[in-house]
Amino acid sequence: MKTPHRLRARVLALALGGLGLACDSEEAFPNLDELDQLRSLHTQTRQPPKDPTNRMDGVERAEKLGDLLFHDAGLSRCGTVSCQSCHDGEGRTVDTATAEGCDGKRTARNPPTVLNAAYNRWFMWDGRADRLWSQALMPLTHPDEMNSDAQVVAARLQGVEPYRTEYLALFGREPAAESGDALMANVGKVLAAYERTLVRVDAPFDEDVRRFLAAVDAGTAEEDPAYLGLKTFLRKGRCVVCHKGPALSDDLFHNIGVEDTGPGGGGQWATLETLLGSPFNAQGSYSDAPNGTDAMRLRTLRTQANQVEMEGAFRTPSLRNVALTAPYMHTGAQATLEEVVDFYNQGGGAAGTFVGRKTDTIVPLELSAEEKQALVELLKSMTGRPR
């Protein structure tokens, strides 16, 4: 007997649905790809990767010296600003859009947290430092931040104990006998050794993802309290396209259209030459592994540099501990996580309010009130416990 046309279409649709080919809205969450993404999201209990370009990394004595220096305003020219001034408290950041440096000057951007910074591949919103130790020299010498230089730093280290003794023990020379750039690189390395200990992982989020994965196996995914948040994060919100893996970042740069037409709005493209030309990068003469994989990554960056992709692009920040680090984005213009979710829901900033071309992934999302709420809850669950 001939199957009626309509019925045949339905049978076909059911068969395709069974193969996982049905359209997104009908497909059960998670599908196989999403399951893989979910599995890669949780736990980050391992130590941050070791930095071969910094031989002080993991050296306890260096960590201790770095701790002291991080908190010492005497390294600044004005004598009142330390790293801690802008990276303090639980969130290791300030709660204002920008922060105050020497002589009342203000930073151009929102200070990111230094928690978990040692997991990052690139530093600064525009990625203009490739190593945690070379990053440290930027605020140290920036006129709007600590306004310091090798002379100020050498005088401080030579004149104050236990700095002199500890420096001598770690590097085999008196601070005053060291050349300026070498001294600064070494100070960066002990600061980075300390920062590597500032780790907050293992959040309720990780437990939720683990429990959710078990619920998927048990066939009860839809009843799990994390269902809507995770589904929105992975599927309708597409957050996982960039905020992926255990750090909830792809370590890459994207233009998501955050309002900024000022001098810093050029993002990664505007500072690429600074990074590649720096004597303090992974392949420079102060690196302890100038031919390693980190140096290779720089060479790749140079050969693959693409203005359209890099202009107005900023680093995908980790979302771990994001509830502790308001306000948000490189400008600090978004005060709450609700505002951030609204921003994404609108498809990013309006044309003309930012530099360059917005990436295709950022489009209006049409999230319901429940989905927005679930996303905000999910973001809040990403706060890790102190070690």
| Residue 307 C-beta: closest distance to ligand HEC, Å | 17
**Piece of 134-142, 154-162, 222-230, 299-307 that binds ligand HEC (CB under 6 A):** 134-142
CA–CA separation, 103 and 113 (whole Å): 23
Phi, psi of 193, rounded to the nearest 5 degrees: -60, -40
DSSP 256: -
Is residue 186 at the binding interface for ligand HEC, with CB under 6 A as the rule? no
Is residue 237 at the binding interface for ligand HEC, with CB under 6 A as the rule? yes
Binding residues among 246-265 for ligand HEC as defined by CB under 6 A: 254, 256, 258
Whether the CB-CB separation of 157 and 163 falls below 8 Å is answered with: yes
Is residue 131 at the binding interface for ligand HEC, with CB under 6 A as the rule? no
Is residue 139 at the binding interface for ligand HEC, with CB under 6 A as the rule? yes
Is residue 183 at the binding interface for ligand HEC, with CB under 6 A as the rule? no
Number of residues that bind ligand HEC (CB under 6 A): 54
Look at the block and give the residue holding tokens 């339905």.
Answer: 10
User: Which residue of 112, 284, 349, 384 would you call a contact of ligand HEC, by CB under 6 A?
Assistant: 112
Whether the CB-CB separation of 174 and 52 falls below 8 Å is answered with: no
Is residue 38 at the binding interface for ligand HEC, with CB under 6 A as the rule? no
Both tokens assigned to 180: 């300026």
Is residue 153 at the binding interface for ligand HEC, with CB under 6 A as the rule? no
What does the buried/exposed string (b/e) look like for 238-248 if buried means 16 or more CB atoms within 10 Å of the residue's CB? Answer: bbbebbbebbb
| Residue 274 C-beta: closest distance to ligand HEC, Å | 11
C-alpha 330: how far from chain center? 11
CA distances 335 to 106, 374, 378, Å, are: 18, 18, 17
CA–CA separation, 337 and 326 (whole Å): 8
Is 267 in a helix, a strand, or coil?
helix
| Residue 177 C-beta: closest distance to ligand HEC, Å | 22
Both tokens assigned to 140: 């140290």
Both tokens assigned to 152: 């100020």
Phi, psi of 315, rounded to the nearest 5 degrees: -70, 140
CA–CA separation, 186 and 170 (whole Å): 9
Is 253 in a helix, a strand, or coil?
strand
| Residue 88 C-beta: closest distance to ligand HEC, Å | 10
User: Which residue of 54, 85, 134, 147 would you call a contact of ligand HEC, by CB under 6 A?
Assistant: 85
Is residue 216 at the binding interface for ligand HEC, with CB under 6 A as the rule? no
Is residue 196 at the binding interface for ligand HEC, with CB under 6 A as the rule? no
| Residue 198 C-beta: closest distance to ligand HEC, Å | 9
CA–CA separation, 77 and 146 (whole Å): 6
DSSP 240: G
Is residue 357 at the binding interface for ligand HEC, with CB under 6 A as the rule? no
**Piece of 37-45, 99-107, 168-176, 201-209 that binds ligand HEC (CB under 6 A):** 99-107
| Residue 8 C-beta: closest distance to ligand HEC, Å | 39
CA–CA separation, 10 and 258 (whole Å): 45
Is residue 81 at the binding interface for ligand HEC, with CB under 6 A as the rule? yes
Read out DSSP for 116-150?
TGGG-SSBSTT--BSSHHHHHHHHHH-TTTT---H
**Piece of 47-55, 204-212, 278-286, 322-330 that binds ligand HEC (CB under 6 A):** 322-330
User: Which residue of 133, 167, 280, 344 would you call a contact of ligand HEC, by CB under 6 A?
Assistant: 344
Strand partners, 106: 100
Both tokens assigned to 299: 């060479």
User: Which residue of 164, 238, 297, 380 would you call a contact of ligand HEC, by CB under 6 A?
Assistant: 238
CA–CA separation, 235 and 229 (whole Å): 10
**Piece of 45-53, 109-117, 155-163, 281-289 that binds ligand HEC (CB under 6 A):** 109-117
Look at the block and give the residue holding tokens 């730093």.
Answer: 153
Residue closer to ligand HEC, measured from CB, 75 or 221: 75
**Piece of 32-40, 155-163, 285-293, 326-334 that binds ligand HEC (CB under 6 A):** 326-334
State the residues that interact with ligand HEC by CB under 6 A.
70, 81, 83, 85-87, 99, 101, 107, 109, 111-112, 114, 117, 120, 123-125, 132, 135-136, 139-140, 145-146, 191, 195, 237-239, 241-243, 254, 256, 258, 314, 316-317, 319, 322, 325, 328-330, 337, 340-341, 344, 359, 361-362, 375, 379
